[in-house]
Chain A
Amino acid sequence: MIPIVIPQIAVGVVFRLVYAPDYGILNVLLGQTGPNQPLWLSSPPLAMIATASVDIWQWTPFVYLIMFAGFQTVPSESVEAAQVDGATAWTQFRHIELPYLRPLLLLVLFFRIADVIRVFDHVYVLTGGGPGTTTQFLSLYIYRIGFKFSDLGQASALAVVVMVAMTVFYTIVSRFLPADRG
Protein backbone atom coordinates (compact mmCIF):
# COMPACT_ATOMS: atom_id res chain seq x y z
CA MET A 1 0.00 0.00 0.00
CA ILE A 2 3.03 2.23 -0.13
CA PRO A 3 2.12 3.97 -3.42
CA ILE A 4 -1.08 5.33 -1.86
CA VAL A 5 0.68 7.44 0.74
CA ILE A 6 3.31 8.93 -1.56
CA PRO A 7 2.72 12.62 -2.30
CA GLN A 8 1.75 13.04 -5.94
CA ILE A 9 4.66 15.34 -6.54
CA ALA A 10 7.03 12.60 -5.44
CA VAL A 11 5.21 10.14 -7.66
CA GLY A 12 5.93 12.51 -10.52
CA VAL A 13 9.59 12.49 -9.54
CA VAL A 14 9.67 8.71 -9.40
CA PHE A 15 8.24 8.32 -12.87
CA ARG A 16 10.35 11.05 -14.31
CA LEU A 17 13.21 8.70 -13.45
CA VAL A 18 11.44 5.83 -15.15
CA TYR A 19 10.29 7.46 -18.35
CA ALA A 20 12.82 10.19 -19.07
CA PRO A 21 14.85 9.85 -22.24
CA ASP A 22 18.58 9.05 -21.82
CA TYR A 23 18.34 8.73 -18.06
CA GLY A 24 15.01 6.92 -17.63
CA ILE A 25 15.42 3.36 -16.45
CA LEU A 26 12.63 1.98 -18.60
CA ASN A 27 14.42 2.50 -21.86
CA VAL A 28 17.62 1.18 -20.32
CA LEU A 29 15.84 -1.98 -19.24
CA LEU A 30 14.30 -2.32 -22.68
CA GLY A 31 17.73 -1.92 -24.21
CA GLN A 32 16.46 1.08 -26.16
CA THR A 33 19.08 3.74 -25.72
CA GLY A 34 20.34 5.99 -28.45
CA PRO A 35 18.61 8.22 -30.94
CA ASN A 36 15.70 5.92 -31.72
CA GLN A 37 14.50 5.30 -28.18
CA PRO A 38 10.80 5.74 -27.46
CA LEU A 39 10.15 9.20 -26.01
CA TRP A 40 7.67 8.28 -23.31
CA LEU A 41 6.95 11.81 -22.19
CA SER A 42 7.15 13.75 -25.40
CA SER A 43 5.42 11.84 -28.18
CA PRO A 44 1.64 12.12 -28.19
CA PRO A 45 0.19 8.61 -27.71
CA LEU A 46 3.01 7.53 -25.41
CA ALA A 47 2.73 10.56 -23.16
CA MET A 48 -0.90 9.80 -22.51
CA ILE A 49 -0.09 6.17 -21.74
CA ALA A 50 2.76 7.24 -19.46
CA THR A 51 0.70 9.71 -17.42
CA ALA A 52 -2.20 7.28 -17.16
CA SER A 53 0.10 4.47 -16.09
CA VAL A 54 1.35 6.60 -13.22
CA ASP A 55 -2.17 7.08 -11.89
CA ILE A 56 -2.79 3.36 -12.27
CA TRP A 57 0.43 2.56 -10.46
CA GLN A 58 -0.46 4.79 -7.58
CA TRP A 59 -4.09 3.80 -7.08
CA THR A 60 -4.37 0.12 -7.95
CA PRO A 61 -3.27 -0.90 -4.43
CA PHE A 62 -6.02 1.32 -3.03
CA VAL A 63 -8.71 -0.36 -5.10
CA TYR A 64 -7.18 -3.73 -4.31
CA LEU A 65 -7.39 -3.11 -0.56
CA ILE A 66 -11.00 -2.02 -0.80
CA MET A 67 -11.91 -5.08 -2.86
CA PHE A 68 -10.02 -7.31 -0.47
CA ALA A 69 -11.98 -5.89 2.46
CA GLY A 70 -15.14 -6.35 0.39
CA PHE A 71 -14.53 -10.02 -0.31
CA GLN A 72 -14.16 -10.67 3.38
CA THR A 73 -17.62 -9.32 4.07
CA VAL A 74 -19.27 -11.84 1.74
CA PRO A 75 -21.08 -14.22 4.11
CA SER A 76 -19.46 -17.62 4.00
CA GLU A 77 -22.87 -19.34 4.40
CA SER A 78 -23.97 -18.22 0.95
CA VAL A 79 -20.72 -19.36 -0.59
CA GLU A 80 -20.90 -22.74 1.12
CA ALA A 81 -24.52 -23.22 0.14
CA ALA A 82 -23.61 -22.55 -3.47
CA GLN A 83 -20.72 -24.99 -3.30
CA VAL A 84 -23.01 -27.68 -1.91
CA ASP A 85 -25.34 -27.03 -4.83
CA GLY A 86 -22.42 -27.61 -7.16
CA ALA A 87 -21.57 -24.09 -8.25
CA THR A 88 -18.35 -23.64 -10.17
CA ALA A 89 -15.88 -21.01 -9.11
CA TRP A 90 -17.14 -18.75 -11.86
CA THR A 91 -20.87 -18.97 -11.06
CA GLN A 92 -20.00 -18.52 -7.41
CA PHE A 93 -18.20 -15.29 -8.26
CA ARG A 94 -20.76 -14.10 -10.79
CA HIS A 95 -23.92 -14.71 -8.79
CA ILE A 96 -22.90 -14.41 -5.16
CA GLU A 97 -19.75 -12.40 -4.66
CA LEU A 98 -20.26 -9.86 -7.42
CA PRO A 99 -23.75 -8.77 -6.24
CA TYR A 100 -22.38 -8.35 -2.73
CA LEU A 101 -19.53 -6.23 -4.02
CA ARG A 102 -21.60 -4.06 -6.33
CA PRO A 103 -22.13 -1.14 -3.91
CA LEU A 104 -18.44 -1.18 -3.06
CA LEU A 105 -17.46 -1.23 -6.72
CA LEU A 106 -19.68 1.76 -7.40
CA LEU A 107 -18.19 3.59 -4.47
CA VAL A 108 -14.63 2.99 -5.63
CA LEU A 109 -15.62 4.02 -9.11
CA PHE A 110 -16.97 7.35 -7.83
CA PHE A 111 -13.95 8.06 -5.69
CA ARG A 112 -11.63 7.27 -8.56
CA ILE A 113 -13.59 9.47 -10.98
CA ALA A 114 -13.39 12.34 -8.50
CA ASP A 115 -9.64 11.77 -8.13
CA VAL A 116 -8.95 11.53 -11.82
CA ILE A 117 -10.81 14.75 -12.49
CA ARG A 118 -8.70 16.63 -9.97
CA VAL A 119 -5.40 15.17 -11.13
CA PHE A 120 -2.75 17.84 -11.45
CA ASP A 121 0.47 17.32 -9.53
CA HIS A 122 2.12 14.36 -11.16
CA VAL A 123 1.12 15.36 -14.67
CA TYR A 124 2.49 18.84 -14.11
CA VAL A 125 5.80 17.34 -13.05
CA LEU A 126 5.92 14.71 -15.79
CA THR A 127 4.77 16.46 -18.93
CA GLY A 128 3.41 19.85 -17.92
CA GLY A 129 0.41 19.06 -20.12
CA GLY A 130 2.53 18.48 -23.18
CA PRO A 131 3.52 17.58 -25.75
CA GLY A 132 1.30 20.32 -27.14
CA THR A 133 -1.94 19.75 -25.33
CA THR A 134 -2.12 15.95 -25.40
CA THR A 135 -1.98 15.50 -21.64
CA GLN A 136 -3.56 18.80 -20.75
CA PHE A 137 -6.22 17.55 -18.38
CA LEU A 138 -8.93 19.68 -16.85
CA SER A 139 -6.91 21.00 -13.92
CA LEU A 140 -3.91 21.80 -16.08
CA TYR A 141 -6.10 23.56 -18.61
CA ILE A 142 -7.68 25.82 -16.01
CA TYR A 143 -4.29 26.45 -14.47
CA ARG A 144 -2.83 27.44 -17.80
CA ILE A 145 -5.71 29.77 -18.68
CA GLY A 146 -5.71 31.41 -15.28
CA PHE A 147 -2.05 31.69 -14.41
CA LYS A 148 -0.01 31.26 -17.57
CA PHE A 149 -2.27 33.45 -19.71
CA SER A 150 -3.38 35.51 -16.70
CA ASP A 151 -7.01 35.34 -17.76
CA LEU A 152 -8.57 34.89 -14.34
CA GLY A 153 -12.00 35.70 -15.77
CA GLN A 154 -12.10 32.84 -18.22
CA ALA A 155 -10.51 30.50 -15.72
CA SER A 156 -13.18 31.40 -13.16
CA ALA A 157 -15.89 30.74 -15.73
CA LEU A 158 -14.37 27.32 -16.37
CA ALA A 159 -14.15 26.70 -12.65
CA VAL A 160 -17.84 27.50 -12.27
CA VAL A 161 -18.69 25.04 -15.05
CA VAL A 162 -16.61 22.38 -13.32
CA MET A 163 -18.28 23.11 -10.02
CA VAL A 164 -21.76 22.81 -11.50
CA ALA A 165 -20.81 19.59 -13.28
CA MET A 166 -19.39 18.11 -10.09
CA THR A 167 -22.45 19.16 -8.10
CA VAL A 168 -24.68 17.31 -10.55
CA PHE A 169 -22.31 14.35 -10.41
CA TYR A 170 -22.31 14.39 -6.63
CA THR A 171 -26.10 14.61 -6.43
CA ILE A 172 -26.32 11.43 -8.47
CA VAL A 173 -23.52 9.77 -6.57
CA SER A 174 -24.85 10.58 -3.13
CA ARG A 175 -27.80 8.29 -3.74
CA PHE A 176 -25.38 5.39 -3.78
CA LEU A 177 -23.20 6.49 -0.90
CA PRO A 178 -23.92 5.46 2.65
CA ALA A 179 -23.60 9.11 3.62
CA ASP A 180 -26.45 9.29 6.12
CA ARG A 181 -25.79 6.06 7.90
CA GLY A 182 -25.60 7.96 11.18
Chain B
Amino acid sequence: MTRGSRRLTRIATSALLAVIAFIFAFPLFYLIATSLKTKADLFAPVPSLFPPAPTIEPYVSVLFTRGFDGLLVNSIIVGLSATILAIAIAFAICYPITRLPAPPRLRTFVLNWALSLRFLPPVAVVIPYFAIVRTIGLYNQLPALILVYTIFNLPLAIWMLRGFLDEIPIEIEEAAMVDGASRWYAFRAILLPLSRTGILAVVIIVFAFDWAEFLFAFILTATPQAMTFPVGVQGLVTQFEIIWNDMAAGGVIAIVVPLTLMLVARRHVMAGLTFGVIREK
Protein backbone atom coordinates (compact mmCIF):
# COMPACT_ATOMS: atom_id res chain seq x y z
CA MET B 1 0.00 0.00 0.00
CA THR B 2 1.45 3.37 -0.95
CA ARG B 3 1.57 6.22 1.49
CA GLY B 4 -1.03 8.21 -0.46
CA SER B 5 -3.64 5.46 -0.48
CA ARG B 6 -3.06 4.75 3.21
CA ARG B 7 -3.74 8.39 3.99
CA LEU B 8 -6.84 8.26 1.87
CA THR B 9 -8.05 5.23 3.81
CA ARG B 10 -7.47 7.06 7.06
CA ILE B 11 -9.42 10.09 5.90
CA ALA B 12 -12.25 7.88 4.67
CA THR B 13 -12.36 6.04 7.99
CA SER B 14 -12.47 9.27 9.98
CA ALA B 15 -15.22 10.60 7.74
CA LEU B 16 -17.23 7.42 8.20
CA LEU B 17 -16.79 7.54 11.97
CA ALA B 18 -17.86 11.18 12.02
CA VAL B 19 -21.02 10.32 10.10
CA ILE B 20 -21.81 7.47 12.51
CA ALA B 21 -21.18 9.69 15.53
CA PHE B 22 -23.50 12.29 14.02
CA ILE B 23 -26.27 9.73 13.50
CA PHE B 24 -26.06 8.61 17.11
CA ALA B 25 -25.68 12.00 18.74
CA PHE B 26 -27.90 14.21 16.64
CA PRO B 27 -31.36 12.90 17.68
CA LEU B 28 -30.42 13.44 21.32
CA PHE B 29 -29.15 16.92 20.59
CA TYR B 30 -32.40 17.79 18.86
CA LEU B 31 -34.36 16.42 21.81
CA ILE B 32 -32.54 18.72 24.22
CA ALA B 33 -32.80 21.66 21.82
CA THR B 34 -36.54 21.18 21.49
CA SER B 35 -37.00 20.86 25.23
CA LEU B 36 -35.57 24.37 25.62
CA LYS B 37 -37.82 26.09 23.11
CA THR B 38 -40.61 28.47 23.99
CA LYS B 39 -44.19 27.87 22.89
CA ALA B 40 -43.80 30.57 20.25
CA ASP B 41 -40.76 28.86 18.72
CA LEU B 42 -42.86 25.78 18.10
CA PHE B 43 -44.89 27.60 15.50
CA ALA B 44 -41.94 28.65 13.38
CA PRO B 45 -42.61 27.50 9.81
CA VAL B 46 -39.29 25.68 9.72
CA PRO B 47 -38.22 24.23 13.09
CA SER B 48 -34.89 25.64 14.18
CA LEU B 49 -31.95 23.54 15.27
CA PHE B 50 -31.04 25.80 18.14
CA PRO B 51 -33.66 27.27 20.43
CA PRO B 52 -33.72 31.01 19.57
CA ALA B 53 -34.58 31.92 23.17
CA PRO B 54 -33.68 29.05 25.49
CA THR B 55 -36.09 28.63 28.37
CA ILE B 56 -36.79 26.08 31.07
CA GLU B 57 -40.49 26.79 30.78
CA PRO B 58 -41.27 23.33 29.25
CA TYR B 59 -39.70 21.61 32.24
CA VAL B 60 -41.73 23.69 34.66
CA SER B 61 -44.83 23.02 32.61
CA VAL B 62 -44.25 19.24 32.56
CA LEU B 63 -43.31 18.91 36.19
CA PHE B 64 -45.72 21.28 37.86
CA THR B 65 -48.53 22.41 35.56
CA ARG B 66 -49.17 18.88 34.37
CA GLY B 67 -48.49 17.37 37.77
CA PHE B 68 -45.71 15.07 36.65
CA ASP B 69 -43.88 15.69 39.90
CA GLY B 70 -46.32 13.20 41.42
CA LEU B 71 -45.45 10.62 38.78
CA LEU B 72 -41.79 11.22 39.45
CA VAL B 73 -42.37 10.48 43.13
CA ASN B 74 -44.33 7.33 42.19
CA SER B 75 -41.50 6.16 39.97
CA ILE B 76 -38.96 6.69 42.72
CA ILE B 77 -41.07 4.94 45.37
CA VAL B 78 -41.76 1.96 43.12
CA GLY B 79 -38.18 1.80 41.89
CA LEU B 80 -36.58 1.94 45.32
CA SER B 81 -38.97 -0.51 46.99
CA ALA B 82 -38.79 -3.02 44.15
CA THR B 83 -35.00 -2.73 44.00
CA ILE B 84 -34.54 -3.34 47.70
CA LEU B 85 -36.97 -6.27 47.69
CA ALA B 86 -35.41 -7.86 44.62
CA ILE B 87 -31.92 -7.61 46.05
CA ALA B 88 -32.94 -9.00 49.43
CA ILE B 89 -34.53 -12.01 47.75
CA ALA B 90 -31.65 -12.39 45.33
CA PHE B 91 -29.26 -12.46 48.28
CA ALA B 92 -31.32 -15.18 49.92
CA ILE B 93 -31.03 -17.21 46.72
CA CYS B 94 -27.40 -16.46 45.87
CA TYR B 95 -25.98 -17.08 49.33
CA PRO B 96 -26.75 -20.83 49.34
CA ILE B 97 -25.73 -21.13 45.68
CA THR B 98 -22.30 -19.62 46.20
CA ARG B 99 -21.57 -20.33 49.86
CA LEU B 100 -23.28 -23.54 50.95
CA PRO B 101 -22.75 -27.02 49.50
CA ALA B 102 -25.84 -26.86 47.31
CA PRO B 103 -26.18 -29.72 44.81
CA PRO B 104 -24.77 -28.62 41.44
CA ARG B 105 -27.94 -29.71 39.67
CA LEU B 106 -30.02 -27.39 41.83
CA ARG B 107 -27.58 -24.56 41.25
CA THR B 108 -27.67 -25.04 37.48
CA PHE B 109 -31.43 -25.27 37.56
CA VAL B 110 -31.91 -22.05 39.50
CA LEU B 111 -29.52 -20.10 37.30
CA ASN B 112 -30.94 -21.54 34.10
CA TRP B 113 -34.45 -20.79 35.19
CA ALA B 114 -33.52 -17.23 36.01
CA LEU B 115 -31.82 -16.77 32.66
CA SER B 116 -34.79 -18.24 30.79
CA LEU B 117 -36.98 -15.43 32.13
CA ARG B 118 -34.80 -13.00 30.20
CA PHE B 119 -36.16 -14.58 27.01
CA LEU B 120 -39.80 -14.29 28.00
CA PRO B 121 -41.61 -11.34 26.44
CA PRO B 122 -43.32 -9.41 29.26
CA VAL B 123 -46.49 -9.15 27.20
CA ALA B 124 -46.94 -12.89 27.65
CA VAL B 125 -47.34 -12.52 31.40
CA VAL B 126 -48.93 -9.12 31.65
CA ILE B 127 -52.42 -10.55 31.12
CA PRO B 128 -52.40 -13.00 34.05
CA TYR B 129 -50.82 -10.28 36.19
CA PHE B 130 -53.56 -7.90 35.14
CA ALA B 131 -56.23 -10.44 36.08
CA ILE B 132 -54.59 -11.25 39.43
CA VAL B 133 -53.98 -7.65 40.37
CA ARG B 134 -57.57 -6.73 39.59
CA THR B 135 -58.94 -9.67 41.56
CA ILE B 136 -57.00 -8.91 44.71
CA GLY B 137 -57.91 -5.24 44.50
CA LEU B 138 -54.45 -3.83 43.84
CA TYR B 139 -55.28 -2.40 40.42
CA ASN B 140 -54.01 1.15 40.05
CA GLN B 141 -52.03 0.90 43.29
CA LEU B 142 -48.30 1.24 43.77
CA PRO B 143 -47.86 -2.08 45.66
CA ALA B 144 -48.96 -3.99 42.55
CA LEU B 145 -46.15 -2.40 40.54
CA ILE B 146 -43.64 -2.96 43.30
CA LEU B 147 -44.55 -6.64 43.38
CA VAL B 148 -44.37 -7.12 39.63
CA TYR B 149 -41.08 -5.22 39.27
CA THR B 150 -39.55 -7.23 42.08
CA ILE B 151 -40.43 -10.48 40.36
CA PHE B 152 -39.34 -9.27 36.98
CA ASN B 153 -35.94 -8.01 37.99
CA LEU B 154 -35.18 -10.91 40.29
CA PRO B 155 -33.39 -12.98 37.61
CA LEU B 156 -31.14 -10.07 36.72
CA ALA B 157 -30.38 -9.42 40.38
CA ILE B 158 -29.62 -13.09 40.96
CA TRP B 159 -27.22 -13.31 38.05
CA MET B 160 -25.36 -10.13 38.79
CA LEU B 161 -25.13 -10.82 42.50
CA ARG B 162 -23.93 -14.34 41.91
CA GLY B 163 -21.15 -12.97 39.71
CA PHE B 164 -20.00 -10.65 42.47
CA LEU B 165 -20.28 -13.23 45.26
CA ASP B 166 -18.33 -15.74 43.19
CA GLU B 167 -15.43 -13.33 43.03
CA ILE B 168 -15.09 -13.09 46.80
CA PRO B 169 -12.96 -16.01 48.00
CA ILE B 170 -14.92 -18.19 50.36
CA GLU B 171 -11.69 -18.89 52.30
CA ILE B 172 -11.93 -15.60 54.19
CA GLU B 173 -15.25 -16.61 55.69
CA GLU B 174 -14.04 -20.12 56.34
CA ALA B 175 -11.04 -18.76 58.19
CA ALA B 176 -13.33 -16.64 60.34
CA MET B 177 -15.56 -19.59 61.08
CA VAL B 178 -12.58 -21.74 62.00
CA ASP B 179 -11.71 -19.00 64.47
CA GLY B 180 -15.12 -19.45 66.05
CA ALA B 181 -17.28 -16.89 64.23
CA SER B 182 -20.85 -17.94 63.59
CA ARG B 183 -22.07 -18.22 60.00
CA TRP B 184 -24.25 -15.18 60.54
CA TYR B 185 -21.31 -13.20 61.88
CA ALA B 186 -19.15 -14.24 58.92
CA PHE B 187 -21.92 -13.10 56.59
CA ARG B 188 -22.48 -9.80 58.32
CA ALA B 189 -18.92 -8.82 59.12
CA ILE B 190 -17.09 -10.22 56.10
CA LEU B 191 -19.28 -11.00 53.12
CA LEU B 192 -21.56 -7.95 53.30
CA PRO B 193 -18.77 -5.36 53.53
CA LEU B 194 -16.75 -7.12 50.83
CA SER B 195 -19.65 -7.28 48.39
CA ARG B 196 -20.70 -3.67 48.98
CA THR B 197 -19.56 -2.34 45.60
CA GLY B 198 -21.22 -5.28 43.89
CA ILE B 199 -24.48 -4.68 45.69
CA LEU B 200 -24.36 -1.01 44.79
CA ALA B 201 -23.91 -1.88 41.12
CA VAL B 202 -26.88 -4.25 41.24
CA VAL B 203 -28.98 -1.61 43.00
CA ILE B 204 -28.21 0.96 40.33
CA ILE B 205 -28.85 -1.32 37.37
CA VAL B 206 -32.04 -2.80 38.78
CA PHE B 207 -33.34 0.65 39.69
CA ALA B 208 -32.61 1.90 36.18
CA PHE B 209 -34.56 -1.02 34.73
CA ASP B 210 -37.47 -0.36 37.09
CA TRP B 211 -37.39 3.27 36.09
CA ALA B 212 -37.57 2.50 32.38
CA GLU B 213 -40.28 -0.15 32.61
CA PHE B 214 -43.35 0.83 30.67
CA LEU B 215 -45.64 -2.04 29.71
CA PHE B 216 -46.61 -3.17 33.21
CA ALA B 217 -46.98 0.34 34.53
CA PHE B 218 -49.09 1.21 31.51
CA ILE B 219 -51.46 -1.69 31.96
CA LEU B 220 -51.64 -1.91 35.74
CA THR B 221 -52.32 1.77 36.41
CA ALA B 222 -54.99 4.15 35.27
CA THR B 223 -54.71 7.46 37.13
CA PRO B 224 -51.84 9.76 38.14
CA GLN B 225 -52.24 8.36 41.65
CA ALA B 226 -50.22 5.29 40.64
CA MET B 227 -48.79 6.09 37.19
CA THR B 228 -45.05 6.11 36.76
CA PHE B 229 -43.09 8.66 34.82
CA PRO B 230 -42.73 6.75 31.52
CA VAL B 231 -46.50 6.32 31.38
CA GLY B 232 -46.87 10.05 31.76
CA VAL B 233 -44.37 10.73 29.00
CA GLN B 234 -46.23 8.34 26.75
CA GLY B 235 -49.39 10.35 27.41
CA LEU B 236 -47.63 13.46 26.11
CA VAL B 237 -46.86 11.74 22.82
CA THR B 238 -50.06 9.98 21.96
CA GLN B 239 -52.48 12.76 22.75
CA PHE B 240 -54.28 14.43 19.90
CA GLU B 241 -52.02 17.41 19.50
CA ILE B 242 -48.45 17.00 20.59
CA ILE B 243 -46.90 19.85 22.52
CA TRP B 244 -43.40 19.27 21.26
CA ASN B 245 -41.39 21.15 23.84
CA ASP B 246 -43.23 19.58 26.78
CA MET B 247 -42.84 16.15 25.25
CA ALA B 248 -39.12 16.71 24.73
CA ALA B 249 -38.71 17.96 28.29
CA GLY B 250 -40.44 14.83 29.58
CA GLY B 251 -38.11 12.73 27.45
CA VAL B 252 -35.05 14.53 28.79
CA ILE B 253 -36.11 13.95 32.39
CA ALA B 254 -36.79 10.28 31.65
CA ILE B 255 -33.30 9.97 30.17
CA VAL B 256 -31.33 11.95 32.73
CA VAL B 257 -32.12 9.71 35.69
CA PRO B 258 -30.86 6.37 34.30
CA LEU B 259 -28.04 8.07 32.42
CA THR B 260 -26.63 9.58 35.60
CA LEU B 261 -26.97 6.29 37.44
CA MET B 262 -25.38 4.32 34.63
CA LEU B 263 -22.44 6.70 34.47
CA VAL B 264 -21.83 5.94 38.13
CA ALA B 265 -22.01 2.19 37.52
CA ARG B 266 -20.42 2.37 34.08
CA ARG B 267 -18.28 -0.71 34.47
CA HIS B 268 -21.21 -2.94 35.34
CA VAL B 269 -23.72 -1.88 32.72
CA MET B 270 -22.68 -4.49 30.18
CA ALA B 271 -22.75 -7.23 32.81
CA GLY B 272 -26.25 -6.11 33.70
CA LEU B 273 -27.50 -6.15 30.15
CA THR B 274 -26.13 -9.58 29.35
CA PHE B 275 -26.71 -11.21 32.71
CA GLY B 276 -23.04 -11.23 33.51
CA VAL B 277 -22.17 -13.24 30.42
CA ILE B 278 -20.10 -10.29 29.25
CA ARG B 279 -17.97 -8.61 31.88
CA GLU B 280 -15.99 -5.53 31.12
CA LYS B 281 -12.60 -5.82 32.68
CA distance A1 to B265 in the complex (A): 13
CA distance A121 to B108 in the complex (A): 33
**Does the CB pair A13–B250 fall under 8 Å?**
yes
**Does the CB pair A143–B214 fall under 8 Å?**
no
Residue from A12, A66, A118, A169 in contact with B123 in the complex, judged by beta carbons closer than 8 Å: A118
Given the known interface contacts A6-B255, A7-B230, A117-B121, the answer about A139 and B278 at a Cβ–Cβ threshold of 8 Å is: no
CB proximity of B103 to chain A, nearest CB, Å: 12
**Does the CB pair A121–B214 fall under 8 Å?**
yes
Q: Which one of B141-149, B175-183, B195-203, B267-275 is at the interface?
A: B267-275
How many contacts A-B (CB < 8 Å)?
183
**Does the CB pair B27–A14 fall under 8 Å?**
yes
**Does the CB pair B112–A179 fall under 8 Å?**
yes
Q: Which residues of A contact B8 (CB under 8 A)?
A: none
CB proximity of A102 to chain B, nearest CB, Å: 15
Q: Which residues of A contact B34 (CB under 8 A)?
A: 17
**Contact string against B for A residues 15-57, beta-carbon threshold 8 Å, 1 for contact and 0 otherwise:** 1111010010100100001000000000000000000000001
| CB interface residues, A 61-76, toward B, < 8 Å | 61-62, 65-66, 69
Q: Which residues of B contact A146 (CB under 8 A)?
A: 126-127, 130
Return the chain A residue nearest B244 by Cβ.
A23
Return the chain B residue nearest A156 by Cβ.
B127
Q: Which residues of A contact B121 (CB under 8 A)?
A: 114, 117-118, 138-139, 162, 166
CA distance A111 to B116 in the complex (A): 11
Given the known interface contacts A13-B251, A174-B115, the answer about A61 and B24 at a Cβ–Cβ threshold of 8 Å is: yes
* B166 at the A interface (CB under 8 A): yes
* B82 at the A interface (CB under 8 A): no
| CB interface residues, B 209-235, toward A, < 8 Å | 211-212, 214-215, 219, 230, 233-234
**Does the CB pair B127–A128 fall under 8 Å?**
no
Interface size for chain A: under 10, 10 to 19, 20 to 34, or 35 or more residues? 35 or more
Q: Which residues of A contact B127 (CB under 8 A)?
A: 142, 146, 152, 155-156, 159
Return the chain A residue nearest B215 by Cβ.
A120
**Does the CB pair B251–A14 fall under 8 Å?**
yes
CB proximity of B29 to chain A, nearest CB, Å: 10
Residue from A25, A62, A66, A166 in contact with B119 in the complex, judged by beta carbons closer than 8 Å: A166
CA distance A15 to B34 in the complex (A): 12
**Does the CB pair A180–B112 fall under 8 Å?**
yes
Q: Which residues of B contact A114 (CB under 8 A)?
A: 118-119, 121
**Does the CB pair B270–A69 fall under 8 Å?**
yes
* A100 at the B interface (CB under 8 A): no
* A101 at the B interface (CB under 8 A): no
| CB interface residues, B 79-97, toward A, < 8 Å | 97
Return the chain B residue nearest A117 by Cβ.
B121
Q: Which residues of A contact B250 (CB under 8 A)?
A: 13
* A173 at the B interface (CB under 8 A): yes
Q: Which residues of A contact B47 (CB under 8 A)?
A: 23, 25, 28
**Does the CB pair A3–B24 fall under 8 Å?**
yes
Q: Which residues of B contact A8 (CB under 8 A)?
A: 212, 214
CB proximity of A29 to chain B, nearest CB, Å: 9
Residue from A1, A17, A152, A162 in contact with B124 in the complex, judged by beta carbons closer than 8 Å: A162
**Does the CB pair A13–B248 fall under 8 Å?**
yes
Q: Which residues of A contact B251 (CB under 8 A)?
A: 9-10, 13-14
Return the chain B residue nearest A6 by Cβ.
B255
CB proximity of A32 to chain B, nearest CB, Å: 12
**Does the CB pair A111–B274 fall under 8 Å?**
yes
Q: Which residues of B contact A156 (CB under 8 A)?
A: 127-128
A residues lining the B interface (CB < 8 Å):
1-10, 12-18, 20, 23, 25, 28, 33, 57, 61-62, 65-66, 69, 107, 110-111, 114, 117-118, 120-121, 124-125, 128, 138-139, 142-143, 146-147, 152, 155-156, 159-160, 162-163, 166-167, 169-170, 173-174, 177-180, 182
B residues lining the A interface (CB < 8 Å):
23-24, 26-28, 30-31, 34, 42, 46-47, 49, 97-98, 107-108, 111-112, 115-116, 118-128, 130-131, 162, 166, 208, 211-212, 214-215, 219, 230, 233-234, 236-238, 242, 244, 247-248, 250-252, 254-255, 258-259, 262, 269-270, 273-274, 277-278, 280
Known contacts A5-B269, A7-B214, A18-B30; can you find 4 more A-B pairs with CB under 8 A?
A: A23-B244, A25-B26, A156-B128, A182-B162
